[in-house]
Chain A
Amino acid sequence: MLSIQGLKAEVDEKEILKGLDLTVGAGEVHAIMGPNGSGKSTLAHVLSGREGYAVTGGSVTFDDRDLLALEPEERACLGLFLAFQYPVELPGVNNTYFLKAALNAKRKYHGEDELDAVSFLRLMKEKLKVLHLDDSLLKRPVNVGFSGGEKKRNEIFQMALLEPKLAILDETDSGLDIDALRVVANGVNALRSPERSMLVVTHYQRLLDYIEPDYVHVLAKGRIIRSGGKELARELEDKGYGWIVDEAAA
């Protein structure tokens, strides 16, 4: 599904990703952990095509396509989804309208009919059952005045509607209270399927108690320096990153 090889990327001529390798198969959930500033969000942004990052080496294929050659919206339409670490506010843009436009953009890309308002609302109701989101958020402008937790939930709700093939969740757990964490995790789990892969960026074992990853990777200084199963996350929780970073440097 996703294959990253020797990926190097820089921002403002500062190299952030320094030869990153990662392969994600269909249906797999990979957790990415790592110290602050190690390049996790940068990876997420480069994968989804954000401007301002210069890719200086390596390749990324997504479903046998050269992902890096595509515009961000094409990547989205082909099934890539990024749940933002910091979701963006769109003043005056109604949340429901935004969701409908996003879904229809994707349908149009695939040559499907656009959903009318009625069918869309029906679909939205269905998805709301899985992911308890306050109705009123759907009537407000996108993310404007949403609490931190509401923004994160809204991201996952978008994901549920857009049904991506590969979802990148960038610290979706930070800012969530304990109950919200469970709700969001349940929502994510409900979306797990043999066709859907996930890259879950997190700092905490807590999230991985709910969303059990197939693989855990440690990203430090722009590279994956260790990969393992879910037990690796537990080990990190106990011992921190220092020992791996030191080992990798040695």
Chain B
Amino acid sequence: MSATPDDVLPGDTKTAAQTSTKAAQAEAEYGHLVKSEYEHGFVTAIESDTLPPGLDESVIAIISQRKGEPQWMLDWRLAAYRKWLDMPTPEWAAVHYPPIDYQTISYFSAPKKKELKSLDEVDPVLLETYEKLGIPIEEQKALAGVAVDAVFDSVSVATTFRDKLAEAGVIFCSISEAVQEYPELVRKYLGSVVPPTDNFYTGLNSAVFTDGTFVYVPKHTRCPMELSTYFRINEAKTGQFERTLIVADEGSYVSYLEGCTAPQRDENQLHAAVVELIALDNAEIKYSTVQNWYPGDEEGRGGIYNFVTKRGDCRGDNSKISWTQVETGSAITWKYPSCILRGDNSVGEFYSVAVTKGRQQADTGTKMIHLGKNTRSTIVSKGISAQHGIQSYRGLVRIAGKAEGARNHTQCDSLLIGDKCAANTFPYIEVKNPTAKMEHEATTSKISDDQLFYCRSRGLTEEDAVSMIVNGFCKEVFNELPMEFAVEAQKLLSISLEGAVG
């Protein structure tokens, strides 16, 4: 059975069941509440080594050379680049932005100091940045059992807990390092879930990716700690093109968290990452994202374009891949973490909270491709829109002809705050096996005046009331996050909706 993971979602929205709702509440009543300032909007003053803007084969060769890559890697990049040149930009998503000129972007930026053996060698300015972000990189946080691979612009600068992981046989390093140290693994799996030709942005990423994370968990190994990477775009006008590759070998388990923030700038920045997950027989991967890129200002100036392709392949029988995401940032988000349920009895899950406010736009959702027998998938999507935020859930559930006994449960809830925001739901369902069991529920609601008044009559401010009700709305998703990050996510949600509501 050949899987065709390279399909993007169908663009013809007319074929989809579509519900578009606008709240009838006066935004004026609550608008003043939504105006929280972006907290992570500072720029780190640090010398960096940045390529001039522009993209051609020589730029790719320079990137590859700077990273000391073997020839096969450069060839792979160039092949991707040549195909990319002929690819059209996707236009089917319900988001709007001026065309991006890919020649004005710089494709490589690295802090100048390199080759770090311990945290002491890390530029203190960098560490301070991480501290401001609340990244658990110092000893004390590390004791909490979090291993961190911090990506600052394009190069990994600090990796902790490598030893303990090495003891368990877990490989956790930057993708550039993996290319050098574990070329067989990288060659075997890179691009095997998301081929370079998958879509426009994966083509671009494959040509120019500069860093990212590689994880390999050996057979029958439970990764002894949560793995975590924090991404941060610092350099103005650099695109960030991470590449993450996680392989869970037979009977292994790993939980991985990525958190993202970016400084405040007036121009838009592009973030086009690719994440590939591979779970072999009886393996489980849990991938959690807390994304808080700079969303732009109230008029929609600046902010990150977050065009990311994330896909997991349940390649083995009884394997499981679970995506949990909390997305509060970015000017535009375009992402569909997906699962290919290839192994028999494999399980895919997608739990998502997405917030759009100000002029933010998000087109997000998931794809569950059922290929194996008795495969199961669960989709829980919670969308929150405030002010002029526009949000679309776009989800595809496909049951292939040989996927006997497949089951899907989809629950898609939208919460609207004010009357200028919008939520759309585009569920696509393709069933080619009559034994499939599909359930789909969708709701759209507003925070009612009754609920707000009830909370306020108990002494809670309107802001706290909103935050409490919104957090309640997202409960099922937060429950899926690792404990310490669930708390973080709740705080993030409260901050980003500070004062939002109704």
Contact = CB atoms under 8 A, between A and B. Distances in A.
Interface of A: 48-52, 71-73, 75-77, 81-82, 84, 87-93, 98, 101-102, 105-106, 109, 141, 158, 162
Interface residues of B, number: 23
A90 B460 CA distance: 14
Identify which of B459, B468, B475 gathers the most chain A CB atoms within 10 Å of its CB.
B459
A73 B456 contact: yes
Given A73-B460, A105-B461, A106-B459, A51 B468 contact: no
A72 B456 contact: yes
A49 to B, nearest CB: 7
Contacts of A102: 458-460
The 7 closest A-B pairs by CB, nearest first: A92-B472, A92-B475, A93-B472, A88-B454, A102-B458, A76-B459, A105-B459
Interface core residue of B449, B451, B460, B462 (most chain A CB under 10 Å): B460
A71 B458 CA distance: 12
Contacts of B451: 88-90
Contact of A51 (B453, B454, B459, B460): B453
Contact of A93 (B456, B457, B461, B471): B471
Contact of A158 (B458, B462, B469, B475): B458
Contacts of A49: 456-457
Nearest to A107: B459
Contacts of A105: 458-461, 464
A52 B449 contact: yes
Interface string B464-488: 1000110111111000000000000
B79 interface: no
Nearest to A73: B456
A82 B460 CA distance: 14
Dominant secondary structure of chain B at its interface with chain A: helix
**Chain B CB within 10 Å — which of A52, A76, A93 has the most?**
A93
Interface in B62-83: none
A71 to B, nearest CB: 7
18 contacts: A49-B456, A52-B449, A73-B459, A73-B460, A73-B462, A76-B459, A87-B454, A88-B448, A88-B450, A88-B451, A89-B451, A91-B472, A92-B471, A92-B474, A92-B476, A98-B468, A102-B460, A105-B458
A94 B460 CA distance: 15
Given A76-B456, A88-B451, 17 more contacts: A71-B456, A73-B459, A73-B461, A76-B458, A81-B457, A89-B451, A90-B472, A91-B473, A92-B476, A93-B469, A98-B458, A98-B468, A101-B460, A101-B464, A102-B458, A105-B460, A162-B458
Contacts of B464: 101, 105
A92 B473 contact: yes
Given A91-B472, A93-B468, A93-B469, A50 B458 contact: no
A49 B453 CA distance: 8
A56 to B, nearest CB: 20
A72 B453 contact: yes
Nearest to B454: A88
Contacts of A84: 454, 457
Contacts of A106: 459
A113 to B, nearest CB: 16
A51 B458 CA distance: 15
A72 B472 CA distance: 22
Contacts of A90: 451, 454-455, 468-469, 472
Contact of B459 (A50, A88, A91, A109): A109
A90 B476 CA distance: 14
A84 B448 CA distance: 16
Nearest to A79: B459
A72 B457 contact: yes
B188 to A, nearest CB: 43
Contacts of A91: 472-473
Contacts of A89: 451
Contacts of B458: 76, 98, 102, 105, 158, 162
Given A88-B450, A88-B451, A48 B472 contact: no
A84 B450 CA distance: 11
Contacts of A50: 453, 457
A89 B471 CA distance: 14
B446 to A, nearest CB: 13
Contacts of A51: 449, 453
A240 B457 CA distance: 33
A73 B456 CA distance: 5
A54 to B, nearest CB: 15
A111 B461 CA distance: 16
Nearest to A105: B459
B475 to A, nearest CB: 4
Nearest to B445: A91
Interface in B420-462: 448-451, 453-462
Contacts of A72: 453, 456-457
A162 B458 CA distance: 8
A82 B464 CA distance: 19
Nearest to B473: A92
Q: Which of B453, B458, B462, B473 has the most CB of A within 10 A?
A: B458
A94 to B, nearest CB: 8
Nearest to B455: A90
Contacts of B476: 92
A9 to B, nearest CB: 16
Contacts of B472: 90-93, 141
A217 to B, nearest CB: 23
A151 B108 CA distance: 60
A81 B457 CA distance: 7
Contacts of A88: 448, 450-451, 453-454
Interface string B137-158: 0000000000000000000000
Contacts of A158: 458
Contacts of A141: 472
A30 B453 CA distance: 24
A129 B455 CA distance: 25
